[in-house]
Amino acid sequence: MFSALTSEFGGSAIIIAFAVMMLAGFIKGAIGFALPMIAISGIGTVMSAEIAIAAMILPGLFTNFWQSLRNGFGAALVSLRKFWRLNLILLVMIYYCAKLVTVVPESFLFLILGASITVFGTIQIVGWQPRFPPHMRNYVEAGVALVAGFFGGLAGVWGPPILMYLMALETPKVEQIRVQGISFLLGSIVLTVAHLNSGVLNQNSLPFSAALIVPAALGMFAGFAVQSRIDQQVFRKATLIVLVIAGLNLLRRGFFG
Read off the pLDDT of residues 42-53 as tens digits, 9 standing for 90 and up: 998 899 989 999
pLDDT computed for residue 226 by the predictor: 82
pLDDT computed for residue 257 by the predictor: 67
pTM for this one?
Answer: 0.80
Closest CA to 21 of 8, 10, 34, 32: 34
Residue 103 banded pLDDT, cuts 50, 70, 90: confident
DSSP state of 130: -
pLDDT computed for residue 232 by the predictor: 65
The total number of structural domains that make up the chain: 1
DSSP-H helix ranges across the chain: 3-9, 11-31, 35-46, 49-68, 73-82, 84-97, 106-126, 137-155, 159-168, 173-198, 205-211, 213-226, 232-256
In angstroms, the CA 201 to CA 212 distance is 14
Q: Which of the residue ranges 23-37, 129-143, 239-253 would you say has the lowest mean pLDDT?
A: 239-253
Q: Is the pLDDT of residue 139 over 70?
A: yes
pLDDT computed for residue 250 by the predictor: 79
Q: How far is CA 224 from CA 53, 107, 111, 202, in A?
A: 25, 36, 32, 32
Phi, psi (degrees; rounded to nearest 5) at 66? -60, -45
pLDDT computed for residue 190 by the predictor: 93
Read off the pLDDT of residues 59-96 as tens digits, 9 standing for 90 and up: 999 999 998 888 788 988 999 999 999 999 999 999 99
Q: Is the pLDDT of residue 210 over 90?
A: yes
Question: Structural domain of residue 106, as residue ranges?
Answer: 3-256
Residue 56 banded pLDDT, cuts 50, 70, 90: very high
255, 115 contact by CB (below 8 A): no
Q: Is the pLDDT of residue 153 over 70?
A: yes
Q: What number is the average pLDDT over the span 160-187?
A: 85
Q: Is the pLDDT of residue 174 over 90?
A: no
pLDDT computed for residue 87 by the predictor: 95
Produce one character per residue of 105-138: b if its CB has 16 or more CB atoms within 10 Å, e if not: eeeebbbbbbbbbbebbbebeeeeeeeeeeeeee
